[in-house]
Amino acid sequence: MLALVGTVPHRDFPLVDSEVSLHDDEVCIQGEQVTVNRGTPALLAATIKAGEFLGQPAPHGYLVGDIGLGDGSRRLYEYLIQHLGESDFQAITFHYMQPDIGCHNRVLFVMEQMSERPILIADAGSMYAAKMSGKAMAYDLFTPDIGELAFLADEEAPHPFYTRGFILHEENRVPELIARAYAHKNAPQNLLIKGEQDYVANQEGIQATINHPMDEAMEAIGGTGDTLTGIVSVLISTGMEIGEAATIAARANRLAGHYAEPTAATQVMEIVSHIPKALEDVFCEKNR
């Protein structure tokens, strides 16, 4: 069973802790709805669609409203500290949360005390918080884009906004960035790097490169990274090995995007609707 932790961009959205479902273009949880768009709602929608294809139970959501003030995130951090220890999720994905070292470390501590430690996946603000806290190695998977990989590689940068120029210039030198991130212990056991090409990597370097189909417009579309994180989270929660899950997810995300015939103005829900077919085709390819 998979849990997803994140925020929605509505200040008054209450803290909710429940199963998530998708109706048309709205994510529904505990009587509340939020339209699918970039951010944690896109992650949720992708997870649900991928999970439906794989016969998985609906994911569990821990969500709260936060428009960047951090108030919602801090309430959710506190809630997780109180309640996460009682759960038995196979995997937990941490997503759009206000980066806060103290709160992050307390949540991580709770999870590390659990008798069956879940697989830990982080993206977005949660990934920034993990790196900032010096605890990247406690995680099983991050899903950074190339700019965020440069941030992971810059041992000095507390946030991508402060990534040093000479490291950003190396954005085409992915192997060096990966190596630098691991050298400073700022990367988890596995990396799924999103970009013009997607890379699956670990401490030993790049394990797989996925680059087709290639639709340039995908980079401009808000939420395509969130859908990738959603797909890989579901695959991992089925028990699939992380490297394999990452490779399949990268290919499926590209295919789903491709089927949507994207332009730079495409919105992410159009891509989400193609996820089941994309997964079906990827698994068919594998079985041939």
Partner 1 sequence: MSVLGLFKRKQPKGSSPDQSRDRGILVFENTSEVIRAETALKKEGWKIRVMGPPPEVRSGCDLVIEIPLIEELSILRTLQAADVTPKDIVPVSSPLLRPVDLFQTKELGRYLMIRAANMKLTIDKRTLTIVNVSGGGCPDVPYLAQEMVGKPLADAPSPREIGHTLCGYALQLAYEEVKRQCSP
Partner 2 sequence: MNTTVDARGFSCPQPVLMTLDEITKVDTGEIVVLVDTDTSKENVSRAVTGKGWQVKDVQEEGKGYRITISKD
DSSP code at position 145 = B
57-96 positions binding partner 2, by CB under 8 A: 57
Name the residue among 67, 79, 59 with its Cα closest to residue 39. Answer: 67
53 binds partner 2 (CB under 8 A): yes
225 binds partner 1 (CB under 8 A): yes
Binding mask 107-126 for partner 1 (x = CB under 8 A): ----------------xxxx
56 binds partner 2 (CB under 8 A): yes
**Which residue carries 């859908």 as its tokens?**
227
How many other β-carbons are positioned within 10 Å of the β-carbon of residue 58? 17
Contact range with partner 1 by CB under 8 A, out of 98-106, 174-182, 197-205, 277-285:
98-106
φ and ψ at 232, to 5 degrees?
A: -65, -35
169-188 positions binding partner 2, by CB under 8 A: none
165-194 positions binding partner 1, by CB under 8 A: 165, 168-169
- Evaluate the CA torsion angle 56, 60, 64, 68 in order and state its sign: negative
Spatial separation of the C-alpha atoms in residues 259 and 179, rounded to whole Å: 34
Of how many residues is the chain composed? 288
Contact range with partner 1 by CB under 8 A, out of 14-22, 50-58, 69-77, 198-206:
69-77
Q: Would you say 149 or 249 has its CB closer to partner 1?
A: 149
Question: By the 8 A CB rule, do 266 and 227 touch?
Answer: no
Q: Which does 157 bind (CB under 5 to 8 A by kind): partner 2, partner 1, none?
A: partner 1
**Out of 47, 73, 233, 253, the residue judged to bind partner 1 by CB under 8 A:** 73
Q: What is the CA radius of gyration of the chain?
A: 17
163 binds partner 1 (CB under 8 A): yes
CB contact burial 115-138 (16+ within 10 A = b; e otherwise): eeebbbbbbbbbbbbbbbbebbeb
Q: Which does 283 bind (CB under 5 to 8 A by kind): partner 1, partner 2, none?
A: partner 2
239 binds partner 2 (CB under 8 A): yes
21 binds partner 2 (CB under 8 A): no
3-state helix, strand, coil split of the chain in percent (to 5) is 50, 20, 35
Binding site for partner 1 (CB under 8 A): 7-9, 37-41, 66-70, 72-73, 96-102, 123-129, 132-134, 145, 147-148, 151, 156-165, 168-169, 216-217, 219-225, 263-267
